[in-house]
Structure 1
Amino acid sequence: MISRLTPLSDVLAMVDLRVKAVTPRTLDVAAAAGRALAVDAMAAPRPTAPLALIDGWALASDATLGAAAHNPLPLVHPPQRIEAGQPLPPDADSVAPFHAVKSANGLAEALATINPGDGVLQPGGDSDPLIPLRRAGERMRMMDLAAFAAAGVSRIAVREPRIRVLPLRGSTIIAAAARLLAQDVERRGGAAKLDEPGRDLGTVLASETADAIVVIGGTGSGRNDTCVHTMARDSELAVHGMAIAPGETAALGFAGSRPLLLLPGRLDAALAVWLMVGRRIQDRLAGIPGGERQLSEPLTLSRKLSSTVGLCEIVPVRRIQNSVEPLASKYLPLSALTRSDGWILIPAECDGYDEGATVQVRPWP
């Protein structure tokens, strides 16, 4: 039985204290999407000499000072035509667009003033060996993979948590929740192992080598809800009952240093606890300090929304122009989840939001 609901802040403090980063591994850059860097990623200086950024005329900028379309200036030294990516000639410090220089019969005139460095990629402009491309604890985005490859970085050290997702029973709801969580683990840089439903938790605990285990179902007080008892018997039960709505029956434990997260067998409750606690566990395993910052969009609430002080509540919302409408609270029907455009968080110390309040809307997995 749950005697008290542990505040979310206490649960997250326990996760931050006890969950340690996994051992790094080295991957090809192309295979590192979503993975968190284990060390700062550095690159050799690029370029090593000034390069043209545009097609145009390589010239000394001071020779164009005061030039304009109505005041063309003759260029004593005819500029050299250059293409993007080519090194600048020694006597040039800028590249002028073709239309800024008039050239005919071996004579050239500047039709515009060109500033020093215009149209030029300076040495180290793409990558400076003193400035990391990305820092340890940051996740690799698809854009990063392209930039790393362009900078000549082929392999990097990352942390890739192995997380086992165990649906305790074979119901369609639990199976759907398990697939969703496993996909989110993979998308956020982990390696998910999705079990077949019905595996015995005690057997899994005895043989598992993953970095964390997420169990879905069996956290309540029903006759078949035994996973909390199994965790208490075979490992360490740290928390049973979290002040998260939905998701109050969730549990957190440890098998040695390995975290075990037990989620309720409802899609809405399993999703809510995963968003608030499961992702934090994965972030800590990946070496992301304090958890990854969640991007959100500030929008206005279309009507008053009440909540229970002491409970951290997740509410699905639907966007209507520049405002959002709450669709459900406490229990989140499947139709509310599918109709929503994201979710908002009501902190435990808050009794809700007034109509017109600014709220931060976060995307679903």
Structure 2
Amino acid sequence: MSDQVTDAGFKDRTRVDEARDALREAVAGIDRTESVPLTAADGRVVAERITAERSVPHYRRAAMDGYAVRAADTFGASDRSPSVLRADDAVGPERAARVHTGSELPEGADAVVMVEQVEAVGDDLEVFDAVAEGENVAPVGEDVEQGDVLYEPGHRLRPSDLGLLKSVGVDEVETYDRPSVGVIPTGEELVQYDPDLGEVIETNGLTVSRYVERWGGRAEYRNVVTDDRDALRAAVQRDLTKDIVVTTGGSSVGERDLIPDVVDDLGEVFVHGVALKPGHPVALGVVEETPVLMLPGYPVACIVNAVQFLRPAMKWTENAAVPPHPTTEARLDRKIASEPGTRTFARVTLESRDGERVAIPTRASGSGILSSVAQADGWVVIPDDREGVAEGETVAVQDWEWSA
């Protein structure tokens, strides 16, 4: 690692995509699985192929309110020359039975005449519309047939998926275990409450641990570890039982930025310094096959790197794809400057003006201004090969805060 940095700072910075590719190589998918009740399976990742245990519908059912009939008995029916059928509880030659949407189709029936096309005259029914065999009837398996493959391993279950699974007779699913993440805040200046002069309230560990939970993992939010090599070494080693270890703070190249050297002594740091803003002093490594992500101490830089590296690492660990962030197109209110070769994440708020969505860059853009990201509606990602974005340009605002 020592050839990547100098006393004055970073010698070079790895491109974001290259850093993420390197991290992908260090992340192994877990093989731990558990059987989860359907009611608790929302957001879980399927570990085994799921097939339909029964057809939906599992019986022929009426698709409309009306009368179940034999289609042949309605041939030629019209407004001027209706077919006349007998109202009955059963269906047979020239006999019809009342049905409601979703009810079982009576034996002998092969179609349903909509109630609007039928007029009762005493015990008889005048049918004013001819129907074809199968019309207004949902056959067995119209939605799903028994044995159909519904989901393959790696699919993340959604509420609509749970409804479908319940309909086909599935009441529990085999899913991958949730990724476990040790979150270790570091820094001798950090306290949890009531800071004195020179002390700072610890927020990064709390924030990151809550993102871990939102992104489907199980976070172990540790106590603050001071800037001491032995203490940092012990903290990292303690959490090597986790799927991922995350530290916050102390990831740059200053005298008190010890964690990259500690991790490199225990294993390997393969990225130190990434071409993104805010938050280039991030480090990525591995110790005993456990990925270690060393996030910067400035709050906004910490969040940006957590979204860019921790979120995908958790998805890979869970054997799932990394879903894209939802975006909103908007017109940029004023220009955003950026450095070519660096991927910039510019915080913006959104508002409507004359029916148009407008993205307004936040005035406070420093990586230590936590309120600037907490009060933003998203960020605009300026690609590495661009030198800023002009005022009035249409941009995609990433709503990273609400993506799972």
**Structure 2-normalised TM-score?**
0.80
Which amino acid counterpart does residue 351 of structure 1 have in structure 2?
A: E
Does residue 261 (structure 1) correspond to residue 296 (structure 2)? The answer is no
Moved more, 131-140 or 300-309: 131-140
CA distance in structure 1 between the aligned counterparts of 2:46 and 2:349, rounded to whole angstroms: 35
1:42 to 32, 40, 51: 51
Q: In 2 relative to 1, CA 185–335 (structure 1 residues): closer, same or farther, beyond 3 Å?
A: closer
After TM superposition, give the deviation of residue 272 of structure 1 in Å. 0.3
After superposition, the CA RMSD in angstroms is 2.7
Check conservation: 2:298, 2:367, Cα contact below 8 A.
Answer: no
**Counterparts of residues 67-106 of structure 1 (less than 5 Å):** 70-71=79-80, 73-76=82-85, 77-106=94-123
CA distance in structure 1 between the aligned counterparts of 2:130 and 2:345, rounded to whole angstroms: 58
Question: Which residue of structure 2 lines up, in the alignment, with residue 239 of structure 1?
Answer: 271
CA distance in structure 2 between the aligned counterparts of 1:90 and 1:19, rounded to whole angstroms: 58
1:183 to 186, 204, 210: 210
1:343 to 376, 379, 392: 379
Check conservation: 1:205, 1:234, Cα contact below 8 A.
Answer: no
After TM superposition, give the deviation of residue 61 of structure 1 in Å. 5.1
Does residue 168 (structure 1) correspond to residue 186 (structure 2)? The answer is yes
Check conservation: 2:342, 2:384, Cα contact below 8 A.
Answer: yes
1:158 to 167, 175, 178: 175
After TM superposition, give the deviation of residue 126 of structure 1 in Å. 3.3
CA distance in structure 2 between the aligned counterparts of 1:347 and 1:218, rounded to whole angstroms: 27
Gaps spanning 5+ residues in structure 1: where?
none
SS at match of 2:315: helix
Which amino acid counterpart does residue 362 of structure 2 have in structure 1?
A: L
SS at match of 2:151: coil
Moved more, 249-258 or 84-93: 84-93
Which amino acid counterpart does residue 269 of structure 2 have in structure 1?
A: L
Gaps spanning 5+ residues in structure 2: where?
86-93, 193-199
SS at match of 1:48: coil
Aligned residues: 363
After TM superposition, give the deviation of residue 259 of structure 1 in Å. 0.8
Question: Which residue of structure 2 lines up, in the alignment, with residue 29 of structure 1?
Answer: 38
**Structure 1-normalised TM-score?**
0.88
Question: Which residue of structure 2 lines up, in the alignment, with residue 227 of structure 1?
Answer: 259
Question: Which residue of structure 1 lines up, in the alignment, with residue 91 of structure 2?
Answer: none
1:17 to 20, 25, 32: 25
Q: In 2 relative to 1, CA 33–75 (structure 1 residues): closer, same or farther, beyond 3 Å?
A: same
Moved more, 272-281 or 219-228: 219-228
1:324 to 337, 359, 368: 359
CA radius of gyration, larger in: 2
Question: Which residue of structure 2 lines up, in the alignment, with residue 148 of structure 1?
Answer: 165
Q: Deviations over 1:36-71 (max 9, x none)?
A: 222333222322332234543323456556766x55
After TM superposition, give the deviation of residue 8 of structure 1 in Å. 0.5
Q: In 2 relative to 1, CA 47–334 (structure 1 residues): closer, same or farther, beyond 3 Å?
A: same
